[in-house]
């Protein structure tokens, strides 16, 4: 009966939403019509009958029927009664959800790619041990005091967007740091403060390349760069990485690049360091093809052995290198502040576009960071972090020693917050990573970072978030799992 249907629907509505009775009845009748339970031309009981059947007041029933009449769901015929409007289209045949997904794509092709491939939660280097990120080296109390200070003394323009490329003292501090420690020749005006490396990459892609232009990038690749370039409609051309870094060949030049993305100081994820000869080759190719080089100076702050490495930007004679960096590794990931150094001829365009596209702000946060650097806290935090990470690195290397040999070698141990263990090309590193996960440990399969290559196998093992005690406890378990996999392969 209609009354039973309406009472059931109204009871459900009253539980999920505190709407008045006349609205509950209106919604119950409307749904019955739209779902085909009341068909076009069907006659409704009179308002008096509905009042009696539903146990409602006459005013409640009349209010609901009047609203449905105004909206065109019902029509009244003098001397005959109230009917469902016969001009309401019949409900469409309901597809099974799987059929619906196949017949109507919710996402664009680009959206499908962005949401299903190179996903950060599968590739981001996280602790191989259980637990949460370890930020014990970061002076939280001091940082809070500085932020509170700048919030208390903030003047109106600090709460607005920043059209100048960022807080001037922070840009000056970044420029001084890069000139001294990374040999980047620059003026303060060339520094643009962004929300991090991802935003810097997207800005470079948007301003320096058109849809469909080719970007060379390393293979294995940094997942964030793949996402940024895919999102901006660029065509990806993978360049193999060897022990000397990105290794372009003559055949690659057939795909003329507009952008060249590289992590020369510590390749992500293999850890390879680009040789001087390879750096000069890359700059020469950029000049020959009128391309821009995007230098992501990933993990450059954490070098544990050997002399500091100069930046690629420091070798650039033709102003073709854009230098990207972030504060996240030294301070904390959620800070979301980075910097982009652009050639002088691009400064005006980048500042204008950054302002128009991203509406940058966070000026009190930038002011706190500038003071944090100026007072020497950044340098002291970096020293403490280096000491802490160096201990963790050494502990992890010792734990992995038993499984090292001809079939397993460590690369990228001189710098950064992760190690890369290279394994035989016929080993299923994804299965090994899954097996390690069953132990409650997190490592990444090196092959998962590859765009085209099928010959690269190994494990990417992060230690930046893992406390020393956790590495001491779980490192031997990781080594044992790797040794067992290698032993099975040898049978």
The whole-angstrom separation of Cα 347 and Cα 207 is: 11
Is the backbone peptide bond immediately before 269 cis, with ω within 30 degrees of 0?
yes
The answer to whether domain 2-84 and domain 385-490 are alike in fold is: no
pLDDT averaged over every residue in the chain: 87
Residues 300-339 have pLDDT tens digits of: 778 877 666 778 999 999 999 999 998 887 777 778 899 9
Would you state the pLDDT for residue 127?
A: 62
- For residue 218, the cross-strand partners are 239
Q: Which regions of 271-326 does DSSP assign to beta strands (E)?
A: 292-296, 321-326
pLDDT digits (tens, 9 = 90+) for 178-235: 998 888 999 999 999 999 999 999 999 999 999 999 999 999 999 999 999 999 999 9
Structure token pair of residue 319: 């102003």
CATH of the domain spanning 136-379, picked from 3.40.640.10, 3.30.2230.10, 3.40.50.1820, 3.30.365.10: 3.40.640.10
So where are the chain's domains? Answer: 2-84, 136-379, 385-490
Sheet order of strands, 338-341 included:
191-194, 338-341, 321-326, 292-296, 259-262, 214-219, 235-242, 245-246
Residues of the chain where predicted confidence (pLDDT) is lower than 70: 16-18, 89-104, 126-127, 129-137, 154-163, 306-308
pLDDT at 17: 66
**Other beta carbons within 10 Å of 440:** 10
pLDDT in tens, 450-486: 999 999 999 999 888 888 888 999 999 999 999 999 9
Cβ proximity of 312 and 261 under 8 Å: no
CA distances from 299 to 175, 268, 418 (A): 18, 9, 10
pLDDT of residue 100: 43
Looking at the domain 385-490, which fold is it? 3.90.1150
- As a whole number of angstroms, the distance between CA 5 and CA 12 comes to 11
> Do 285 and 250 contact (CB within 8 A), yes or no?
no
- Strands of the sheet containing 409-411, edge to edge, are 409-411, 418-422, 458-462, 444-445
pLDDT at residue 136, rounded to an integer: 63
Closest CA to 37 of 96, 88, 100, 99: 88
Task: Name the token pair of 48.
Answer: 């008096």
Q: What is the pTM of this model?
A: 0.76
128: which 2 tokens?
Answer: 């191989």
Question: pLDDT at position 307, please?
Answer: 67
| Best CA proximity match to 162, nearest among 205, 193, 197 | 193
**Structural domain 2-84, CATH architecture:** Orthogonal Bundle (1.10)
- Report pLDDT for 103: 44
* Strands 409-411 and 418-422, sheet pairing: antiparallel
pLDDT at site 119: 80
């Amino acid at each position: 009966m209609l009354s039973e249907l309406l009472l059931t629907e109204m009871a459900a509505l009253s539980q999920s939403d505190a709407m008045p009775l006349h609205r509950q009845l209106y919604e119950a009748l409307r749904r019955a019509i739209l779902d085909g339970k009341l068909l076009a031309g069907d006659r409704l009981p009179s308002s008096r009958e509905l009042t009696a059947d539903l146990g409602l007041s006459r005013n409640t029933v009349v209010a609901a029927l009047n609203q449905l009449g105004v909206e065109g769901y019902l029509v009244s015929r003098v001397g005959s009664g109230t009917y469902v409007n016969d001009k309401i289209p019949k409900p469409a045949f309901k597809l099974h959800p799987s059929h619906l997904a196949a017949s109507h794509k919710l996402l664009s092709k680009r959206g499908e790619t962005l949401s299903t491939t190179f996903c950060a939660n599968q590739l981001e280097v996280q602790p191989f041990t259980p637990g949460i990120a370890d930020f014990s080296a970061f002076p939280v109390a001091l940082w809070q005091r500085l932020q509170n200070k700048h919030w208390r003394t903030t003047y109106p323009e600090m709460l607005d967007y920043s059209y100048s490329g960022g807080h001037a003292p922070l840009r000056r501090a970044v420029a001084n740091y890069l000139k001294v420690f990374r040999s980047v020749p620059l003026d303060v005006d060339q520094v643009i403060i962004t929300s991090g490396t991802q935003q810097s990459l997207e800005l470079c892609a948007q301003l320096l390349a058109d849809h469909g232009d080719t970007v060379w990038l390393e293979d294995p690749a940094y997942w964030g760069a793949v996402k940024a370039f895919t999102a901006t409609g660029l065509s990806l051309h993978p360049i193999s990485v060897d022990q000397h870094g990105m290794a372009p060949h003559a055949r690659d030049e057939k795909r003329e690049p507009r952008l060249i993305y590289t992590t020369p100081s510590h390749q992500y994820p293999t850890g390879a360091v680009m040789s001087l000869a390879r750096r000069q080759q890359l700059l020469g190719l950029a000049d020959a093809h009128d391309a821009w080089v995007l230098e992501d100076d990933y993990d450059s702050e954490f070098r544990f052995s050997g002399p500091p490495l100069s930046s690629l930007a420091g070798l650039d004679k033709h102003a073709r290198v854009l230098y990207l960096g972030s504060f996240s590794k030294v301070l904390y990931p959620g800070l979301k502040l980075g910097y982009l150094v652009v050639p002088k001829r691009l400064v005006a365009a980048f500042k204008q576009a950054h302002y128009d596209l991203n509406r940058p702000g966070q000026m009190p946060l930038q002011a706190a960071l500038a003071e944090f650097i100026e007072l020497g806290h950044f340098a002291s935090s970096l020293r403490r972090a280096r000491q802490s990470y160096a201990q963790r690195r050494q502990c992890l290397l010792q734990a992995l020693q038993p499984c090292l040999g001809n079939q397993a070698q460590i690369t990228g141990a001189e710098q950064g917050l992760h190690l890369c263990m290279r394994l035989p090309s016929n080993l299923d590193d994804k299965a090994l990573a899954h097996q390690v996960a069953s132990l409650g440990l997190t490592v990444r399969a090196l092959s998962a970072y590859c765009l085209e290559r099928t010959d690269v196998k190994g494990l990417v093992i992060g230690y930046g978030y893992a406390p020393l005690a956790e590495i001491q406890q779980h490192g031997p378990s990781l080594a044992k799992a790797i040794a067992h996999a290698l032993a099975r392969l040898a049978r």
